[in-house]
């Protein structure tokens, strides 16, 4: 039987990095075996539903290339793929579970447990609820339901001793049945809790592997009791440690930590983000760090997932993003950089600008600060022309700019090569070093000590007319 995995997020907002990593591992487990990757939307917690969040899930997965084989938008043989559309299915199996002795009807007025989903931390009650309804005869309970009395379906934990199950990451795990809470499976509004819905859906959708956070390890025996009551085989469990902000704190959307959308807005490429999060808890067994999604599909193995939490290192992501930027074709880089040129003067040579920027930046968000002088040069002190390494002073800069203007005016083919050769010849003729011509020119064109490119590269970007205009303006102030 081929692998079938599912990503089952709740539409409660943006795509958290931990959620995207879970989706990636689910995807890779499926694709490494030629299997199916299913998208299921877990929206039974209507109080936390966020309008438009489902579209964010779709767009994020598509943007990183993780296309699903079955899901709400494309269908499949095991739908519906939205939990709120499966209400009758959960009710049917909840009542069956009661008949099988794995659950009971509860009429208590106690507040129902907080709803959780797979992209949140499960909430376990430390003081176990002693439910008197557990001892109500089934026929009596059915009569009360028929009379219209509100009820929930609550799980029975009838076993004593120790639950033992296997996890791909953590090996064999033992948990005392006495530690398990008899939680609500079906709420009074007819919707299931996560603890019930995920079991029913995973079985009916023939899911073979389940990847989720290691905080769910303590709940897994409860899921296994449901599988056991129905006579079903549990999936392969792959519990992964959290992604940490630092040694003490987990990344959390509730704490405002960066989402996938935030990182993209900060100039990180989706492919680089995906590559980086693949390594947050997994290693390929060698020194490689740069992987395309296709390469990950070919080499991923769940048995190389780590038990220890991984710390999200923005410096490492930034380095990796720089690698991805430099590996883009010139055409592709220009395409992704163009939105950052939106308010640039139309006379600029934007293709030349992209060629200068590509080897010099690590995130796209660095572009605005690198090119702000191209809109309008700011006032700068004459002392900026002083540079010991280049052997320049304001006096030498004035001499150089006077010599440069006629040279620039006589260049018809405005290319980097022609500009460099002409200015180098000018320096030689007047017994100046190349830097004594080029450094002052770069200052005159940018008003900055450091720029994304040398003097002639900036001249090509600005164009002949703007270059000569800026040199003349600079000369007037020297």
In our burial notation (b when 16+ CB lie closer than 10 A, e otherwise), range 67-103 reads ebebbbeeebebbebbbeebbebbeebbbebbeeebb
pLDDT tens readout for residues 162-219: 999 999 999 999 999 999 999 999 999 999 999 999 999 999 999 999 999 999 999 9
pLDDT tens readout for residues 28-38: 999 998 999 99
| 309 confidence band (pLDDT: 50, 70, 90) | very high
| 256 confidence band (pLDDT: 50, 70, 90) | low
pLDDT at position 49 is 78
Going along the chain from its start, the domains and CATH numbers come out as 4-241 (3.40.50.620), 330-478 (1.10.10.350)
Q: Is a pLDDT exceeding 80 seen at residue 111?
A: no
Tell me the torsion sign for CA atoms 362, 363, 366, 367: positive
CA end-to-end span of the chain = 79
CA distances for 179 relative to 220, 426, 429, angstroms: 12, 85, 88
Q: Is a pLDDT exceeding 80 seen at residue 269?
A: yes
Contact 134, 104 (CB under 8 A): yes
| 13 confidence band (pLDDT: 50, 70, 90) | confident
d(CA 134, CA 426): 96
Q: Is a pLDDT exceeding 60 seen at residue 115?
A: no
d(CA 155, CA 185): 6
Q: Is a pLDDT exceeding 90 seen at residue 339?
A: yes
pLDDT at position 129 is 67
Mean pLDDT lowest among 173-177, 248-252, 318-322: 248-252
Predicted TM-score (pTM) of the model is 0.90
CA distances for 176 relative to 134, 219, 239, 424, angstroms: 21, 11, 19, 81
Backbone angles phi, psi at 11, to 5 degrees: -80, 70
Using a pLDDT cut of 90, give the percent of the chain over it.
85
Of 337, 347, 339, whose CA–CA distance to 470 is shortest? 347
pLDDT at position 138 is 95
DSSP 415: -
- Active-site residues, by number, are 253
Q: Is pLDDT larger for residue 40 or for residue 113? A: 40
d(CA 73, CA 62): 13
| 119 confidence band (pLDDT: 50, 70, 90) | low
Chain centre distance of CA 105: 41
Mean per-residue pLDDT of the chain = 93
pLDDT tens readout for residues 66-108: 999 999 999 999 999 999 999 999 999 999 999 999 999 999 9
pLDDT tens readout for residues 120-168: 445 444 456 678 899 999 999 999 999 999 999 999 999 999 999 999 9
The answer to whether the peptide bond before residue 80 is cis (omega within 30 degrees of 0) is yes
pLDDT at position 126 is 43
Using a pLDDT cut of 70, give the percent of the chain over it.
95
Tokens 């796209």, residue located: 364
Mean pLDDT lowest among 38-47, 127-136, 239-248, 404-413: 127-136
Residue 116 φ/ψ region, left for φ over 0, alpha for ψ in the -120 to 50 degree band, beta for the rest: beta
Q: Is pLDDT larger for residue 57 or for residue 118? A: 57
């Amino acid at each position: 039987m081929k692998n079938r995995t599912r990503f089952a997020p709740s539409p409660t907002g943006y795509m958290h990095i931990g959620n995207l990593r879970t989706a990636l591992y689910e995807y890779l487990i499926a694709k490494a075996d030629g299997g199916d990757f299913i998208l299921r939307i877990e929206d039974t917690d209507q109080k936390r539903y966020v309008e438009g969040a489902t579209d964010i899930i779709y767009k994020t997965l598509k943007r990183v290339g993780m296309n699903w084989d079955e899901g709400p938008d494309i269908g499949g043989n095991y739908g519906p793929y939205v939990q709120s559309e499966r209400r009758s299915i959960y009710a049917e199996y909840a009542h069956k579970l009661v008949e099988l002795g794995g659950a009971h009807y509860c009429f208590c007025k106690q507040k129902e447990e907080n709803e959780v989903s797979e992209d949140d931390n499960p909430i376990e009650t430390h003081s176990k609820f002693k439910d008197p309804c557990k001892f109500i005869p089934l026929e009596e309970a059915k009569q009360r339901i028929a009379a219209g009395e509100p009820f929930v379906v609550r799980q029975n934990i009838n076993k004593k001793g120790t639950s033992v199950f296997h996890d791909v990451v953590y090996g064999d795990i033992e948990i005392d049945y006495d530690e398990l809470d008899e939680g609500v499976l079906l709420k009074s509004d007819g919707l299931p809790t996560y603890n019930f819905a995920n079991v029913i859906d995973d079985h009916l959708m023939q899911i073979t592997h389940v990847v989720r956070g290691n905080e769910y390890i303590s709940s897994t025996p409860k899921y296994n009791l449901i599988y056991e009551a129905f006579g079903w085989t549990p999936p392969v469990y792959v519990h992964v440690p959290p992604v940490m902000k630092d040694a003490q704190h987990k990344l959390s959307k509730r704490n405002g930590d960066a989402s996938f959308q935030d990182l993209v807005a900060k100039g990180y490429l989706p492919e680089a983000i995906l590559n980086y999060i693949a390594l947050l808890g997994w290693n390929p067994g060698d020194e490689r760090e740069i992987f395309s999604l296709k390469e990950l599909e070919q080499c991923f193995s769940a048995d190389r997932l780590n038990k220890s939490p991984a710390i999200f290192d923005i410096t490492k992501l930034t380095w990796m993003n720089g690698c991805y930027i430099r590996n883009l074709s010139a055409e592709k880089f220009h395409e992704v950089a163009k939105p950052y040129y939106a308010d640039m003067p139309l006379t600029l040579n934007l293709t030349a600008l992209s060629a200068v920027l590509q080897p010099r930046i690590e995130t796209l968000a660095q572009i605005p600060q690198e090119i702000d002088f191209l809109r309008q040069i700011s006032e700068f002190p004459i002392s900026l022309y002083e540079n010991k390494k280049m052997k320049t002073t304001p006096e030498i800069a004035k001499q150089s700019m006077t010599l440069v203007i006629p040279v620039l005016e006589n260049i018809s083919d405005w290319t980097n090569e022609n500009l460099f050769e002409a200015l180098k010849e000018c320096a030689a003729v007047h017994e100046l070093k190349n830097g004594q011509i080029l450094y002052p020119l770069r200052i005159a064109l940018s008003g900055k000590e450091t720029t994304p490119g040398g003097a002639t590269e900036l001249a090509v970007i600005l164009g002949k007319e703007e270059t000569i205009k800026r040199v003349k303006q600079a000369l007037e102030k020297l």
